[in-house]
Structure 1
Amino acid sequence: MRHLIYLLLFATPLLAQTNADIYNAKVPEPVLIWHRVADVSPGLQSVEAAEFSPDGSLAVSGGKFGYRVMLWRVADGTLLWQSAHESEVECVTFSPDGRRIATGGEDYFLRVWDTATGEQLHSMEMTEAGFDGITWSPDGRYIVGGDEAGNAVFFDGTTYAEVARINCGSTINSLQFTADGTQLLVGGNIQTLDPNGPGGKTYTGFAKVIDVARRAIIQDIGEQPGSIKSVRYSPDEKHFATGGFDNKARLFDAASGKLVREFTDPLKIEAVAFTPDGHYLVTGGHAQSINFYRLSDGELALRLPMARVEYIDFTDNGRLMLTSHEDSGLLSCYLLQSNTQTRGNYQQIADEQLNNRDLKGGN
């Protein structure tokens, strides 16, 4: 199968001190900017994962069939460098300072790259399984890979030595730290033998929270139907969302682990994400669309057609959304229009954001 990466460019969210919204809280308004090829293979093309650099100026993608790790300049879609694993690249992530990239592949290797040059700085072969998910802690202290043996494997973020291994199930597909790095949310599946199941197995999903200092699981939402493919915290970290192969995204209270709301897509869900302004939960998967659900009322605000979705990532400021997709090898950029002119608050927002001398009492 081929994968498609879509990159959505959002208008700048309002600075915290202005207390007004910049883009539409009722219906998002995306406009296509550009397409680029993001996986190179003589046969099928696919992209398993993609992520923004911390400042949003770069994006890294990992290819399924071309085995490529590719670094892109976001402003114009220029390919800056490419390197490769020896088999499928499953997951990619930037260090908090943006100077390094960590990737995991089906060659059972964790690899670390220099962002500026593409030089491979480190490689470590895993003995048990490859990684399906990877993340870097906000303080840079740890790289954590979620492997296909159900382990959250902690590596030192400087020496790359393994420092801890916490088993959570059979496979970990997705991970995210809280902003302070004290907790780690993981999602995946538990597999049991079943001659009538796909591949002779039955898959049940899980989402669990790990206390990083204690190296212990402190919260478990219980078994979920089908594999959990993606987990994400809301911007205020009061909730987290899961998306899985039972066609549902679920919103949970982060403190209690109780289910708050369900969102149903037509087919399996591969990815979930929150818009950084907190307006929408965004889902993508086999239904060949990205779906924006309003968190204010739980209703579907927009279904944007595109190839099957594999992964979704936002820049911290909310301007950009990067997603990887099945069934093609493209990188695409969209603009989500602001509506400040229509609402009449453009000038107020502009004056608060601008540093013009005539607005600050200069000559």
Structure 2
Amino acid sequence: MWKDDPVPQTSCGPLTGGSRDISRLDHGVVTVTTKSTDVTALVEEIQKREPLITDSCLEHVIHLVQRLQEKLGEEQNHRFSLFKVLRTHILPLTNVAFNKSGSRFITGSYDRTCKLWDTASGEELHSLEGHRNVVYAIAFNNPYGDKIATGSFDKTCKLWSTETGKCYHTFRGHSAEIVCLSFNPQSTLLATGSMDTTAKLWDVEKGEEVATLNGHSAEIIALSFNTTGDRIITGSFDHTVAVWDVGTGRLLHSLIGHRGEISSAQFNWDCSLIVTGSMDKTCMLWNAETGTHIATLAGHSREVLDVCFDYAGQRIATASADGSARVYNAGTKQCIAKLEGHEDEISKVCFNPKGNCILTASSVF
């Protein structure tokens, strides 16, 4: 686990959040730049232009802008350093994931289990047992965090209670290994991707299949919903990423450009961008609405095995078979940190909700 420390130095350059001008008002958009800005005066000026900000909620808006000002100030001149090492499983890890608050995280393993952990103490809370093969894909149903989904090489997906560790449902229907999964934002649907070249949508409450997404010519190994839940992307060994309409199951775009198998794909928070990682050693940015290519992020010497946005959509983290992780600025497309310390390939990477910690999983335990 890597934690964001206030030290203005990294091997790729300073990890800075940048500055924004809180005194500008453009069509109701407010941005923050300096600690000396009079927030009360600013919000009062906004109130004159925005009738929805009444006197009864004025103090609350002032408090929110002050918190935003403080948070943006904290992002300047940071780097990531090693925070904690947990000896988690008897066999290598396959995946890691935080809950919404970052207070808990889960780990999947070749030992056929998923374990739930307390982030601060490192205490093991539950061991979710029942799969008959490798637990490869795991996820919380964030932002709720009361359920955990696990996908396995045994061709099934299981739904668990976070609090009790009880298994609610076992989803059956894929004809090959399940290697990726994701909840929709409303936590009503669960999507699974399989080596059988299909993705499936499942009803979380009923435990039933809702739809099958057909169209890839090779294994599906990555999928992700956007934040509104009306789109889902699937990445495949056929070198492409597909954008689907969730309601109809219709294919909207095929993202073509990588020269190797897709390893990971994700929307940013406002659904405007898609990031993809590939075995061709690169990460690519795409316009989510049009499906057009925006930029290629290079630097790794071996395959990119995982990619993710932070929750603000400002940074991109990549994990590679070269044993390192990198952090890129989504705006400038520049590498702003290189994270080294693992002795072997890094299979998964994720930000905590605040964006000041990165969790990496490696085959060395």
TM-score normalised according to structure 2 size: 0.77
> Which residue, out of 97, 108, 117, partners 1:51?
97
Q: Percent identity?
A: 21
Which residue does the alignment assign to 2:224?
A: 176
Which residue does the alignment assign to 1:37?
A: 87
> Which residue, out of 207, 232, 251, partners 2:241?
207
Instruction: String of CA shifts for 1:26-73, please: whole Å, max 9, x gaps.
Output: x64113221111221xxxx31111111123211111102x11210001
Which residue does the alignment assign to 1:316?
A: 353
Contact 2:226 2:269 in 1 (8 A): no
**1:60 partner letter:** I
What is the SS of the residue equivalent to 2:185? Answer: coil
Shift of 1:298: 2.3
Instruction: String of CA shifts for 1:295-333, please: whole Å, max 9, x gaps.
Output: 33322222111332111222333243333222x23xxxx
Shift of 1:83: 2.6
**2:118 partner letter:** R
> Which residue, out of 86, 101, 109, partners 1:63?
109
Q: Hey, what's the Cα distance between the residues in 2 that align with 1:38 and 1:9?
A: 22
What is the SS of the residue equivalent to 1:22? Answer: helix
Q: Hey, what's the Cα distance between the residues in 2 that align with 1:38 and 1:103?
A: 17
Contact 1:247 1:268 in 2 (8 A): yes
Change over 3 Å in CA distance of 1:172–1:87 after alignment to 2: same
Q: Hey, what's the Cα distance between the residues in 1 that align with 2:323 and 2:64?
A: 35
**2:348 partner letter:** Y
Superposed, which structure 2 residues align to 1:35-114 within 5 Å? 35-40=85-90, 45-64=91-110, 66-84=111-129, 85-96=131-142, 97-114=144-161
**Is 1:241 aligned to 2:275, yes or no?**
yes
Shift of 1:10: 7.7
Q: Hey, what's the Cα distance between the residues in 1 that align with 2:348 and 2:87?
A: 16
Q: Hey, what's the Cα distance between the residues in 2 that align with 1:310 and 1:145?
A: 19
Shift of 1:149: 1.2
Note the aligned Cα RMSD (angstroms).
Answer: 2.2
> Which residue, out of 126, 129, 135, partners 2:182?
135
**1:266 partner letter:** S
Shift of 1:16: 6.3
Which residue does the alignment assign to 2:336?
A: 301
Q: Hey, what's the Cα distance between the residues in 2 that align with 1:216 and 1:102?
A: 25
**2:192 partner letter:** G
Instruction: State the 4+ residue runs in structure 1 displaced beyond 6 angstroms.
Output: 13-16
**Is 1:22 aligned to 2:67, yes or no?**
no
**1:286 partner letter:** A
Superposed, which structure 2 residues align to 1:149-188 within 5 Å? 149-169=196-216, 170-188=218-236
Which residue does the alignment assign to 1:268?
A: 303
Shift of 1:101: 0.8
Shift of 1:266: 1.1
Contact 2:267 2:273 in 1 (8 A): yes
**2:346 partner letter:** V
Shift of 1:142: 0.5
Structure 2 segments unaligned to the other structure (5+ residues): 7-16, 18-31, 33-62
Contact 1:290 1:306 in 2 (8 A): no
Structure 1 segments unaligned to the other structure (5+ residues): 1-5, 191-204, 330-363
**Number of equivalences:** 302
Shift of 1:271: 0.7
Instruction: String of CA shifts for 1:92-116, please: whole Å, max 9, x gaps.
Output: 0112321111101011121111111
Q: Hey, what's the Cα distance between the residues in 2 that align with 1:157 and 1:234?
A: 24
TM-score normalised according to structure 1 size: 0.77
Contact 1:146 1:175 in 2 (8 A): yes
Q: Hey, what's the Cα distance between the residues in 2 that align with 1:298 and 1:228?
A: 20
Q: Hey, what's the Cα distance between the residues in 2 that align with 1:185 and 1:31?
A: 32
**Larger relative strand fraction:** 1
Change over 3 Å in CA distance of 1:120–1:228 after alignment to 2: same
What is the SS of the residue equivalent to 2:65? Answer: helix
